[in-house]
Amino acid sequence: MAVRTRFAPSPTGYMHIGNLRTAIFEYLVAKKDNGDFILRIEDTDQNRKVDGAIDFIYKTLELCHFKIDEGPNNPGKVGPYIQSERKAIYKEYAEKLVSMGAAYYCFCTEEELDRQRKVAESRRIPFMYNGKCSILTEEEIKEKLDSGIPYVIRQKMPKNGVTIVNDLVYGKIKIDNSILEDQILLKSDGFPTYNFANVVDDHLMGITHVIRGHEYLDQTAKYNLLYQAFGWQEPTYIHVAMVLGEDGNKLSKRNGDASFMDLYNQGYLPEAIVNYLVLLGWSPNSNQEIFSMEELIQAFDPTRISKSNSQYDVKKLNWVNAHYIKNMDDEKYLEYIKPFLTNAYDLSNKTDEWINKLLLTYKSHISYGKEIEYEVKWLFTEELEMDQECKDFMLSDDSIKNTLKIFLDEIKNINNWDSTEINNCINITKEKAQVKGKLLFMPIRIACTHQMHGPELADTLYLVGKEKILKRLEDYNENI
């Protein structure tokens, strides 16, 4: 049987990175066996639907280079691929369950359910619907239906024994049936619940592998009971542990955690985000950490998904993204990074040569696009402040004053202001002052830039410009 996986996000805004990680796993499972990756939009909760969110989903998958084999924008033979367009299908299958005795009409009002919740609360036990409507007679049901009383359809759960869930990561799991509530399958507005729609859609769409969060493992028992009631083949389940935020809580859009588009807009590269996220909860059988999509497809083995929660670590994401930036060719890099600089600063008095030099100088010093704005801010600031660490260093050795005087004299003689000539001045200063290492480079850097560290010194001084360099060196020599 051909492998078919599905990614089924809700259109409730930007896609958060925990949800994207699930999509990555689903995509890799499918493509590992040359299978199909299906996109299905789960919009049964109409109250949470956000206008334009489906376009965000398309954009995210496109940027991540996920080929959608079937979906709303690439329909196949098992559509529609948007759940709100499949209401008649869910009603048909819910009523089929009722006719088989595996589900029942429930006419309980919200007030009645609230009373049951309060009773459970007073007894300090979890609320579970008491199954009151499951014992209604056919006559009572017909009378209520004929009277137009609103109803939902609930799944009739066994109250004894266990239901088995076989999972590729967690193995054989036994779920006690006594904890399974008679869940609602079809709501009074005709929309299915998430749990019911998933089962019906996965079967009708031929989904062979279902990947979902470990926290929903108990719910999977309810899925299996539905599969069994219909006589359908259960899919292969792959439950994955949670991705926790840096605060230790589960990542969630509702909690305002980072979404893919947030990261993308800050200048994180989609291929780097995918590379980083796949390593959250999965490990290859080697020490390799940087993967192309083709390499991931070849290396991915779902049995190596961890049972333990993983934690989102922006420092590791930065490390991965920095690797991708450093390995971009210069033309592509400039195209990627330039908008972050132009959006932050007025460059009208800067030449293209200077701008490109600036960006290429910092290529190996940034971890994500927007970081360039903070890294080069000092170049666009007229009045620079020297921090205490810099001040202390400049007073730490008697040779520093002489080194800067020699360097000033050499810089004055440069006619062609470029990195090569500046570097020659640094080397001449080294010989004349008889200093090297940090006693050569650091005093020059601090006096000229008021910074202790930075990119290649000659390139940095070129960016500052000869006029400013001379003035800062002269001001420094006058004030010491």
The label of the residue with tokens 């570097």 reads: 423
Strands 36-39 and 4-7: parallel
User: Does residue 16 contact residue 259 with C-beta atoms inside 8 Å?
Assistant: yes
Sheet with 184-186, edge to edge strand ranges: 103-106, 152-155, 184-186
Q: Which residues contact 450 (CB under 8 A, 6 or more apart)?
A: 378, 384, 385, 386, 387, 390
Distances (CA, A) of 32 to 5, 26, 300: 11, 10, 7
N- to C-terminal Cα separation, the chain: 80
Burial 230-259 (b: 16+ CB within 10 A, else e): beeebbbbbbbbbbbbeeeeebebeeebbb
Q: Which residues contact 292 (CB under 8 A, 6 or more apart)?
A: 271
Q: Is 171 left (phi over 0), alpha (psi -120 to 50) or beta?
A: left
Name the CA radius of gyration of the chain, rounded. Answer: 32
Identify whether 80 is preceded by a cis peptide bond (ω within 30 of 0).
yes
Residue numbers annotated as active site: 253
Tokens at residue 236, please? Answer: 């292969």
C-alpha span between 418 and 459 (Å, rounded):
8
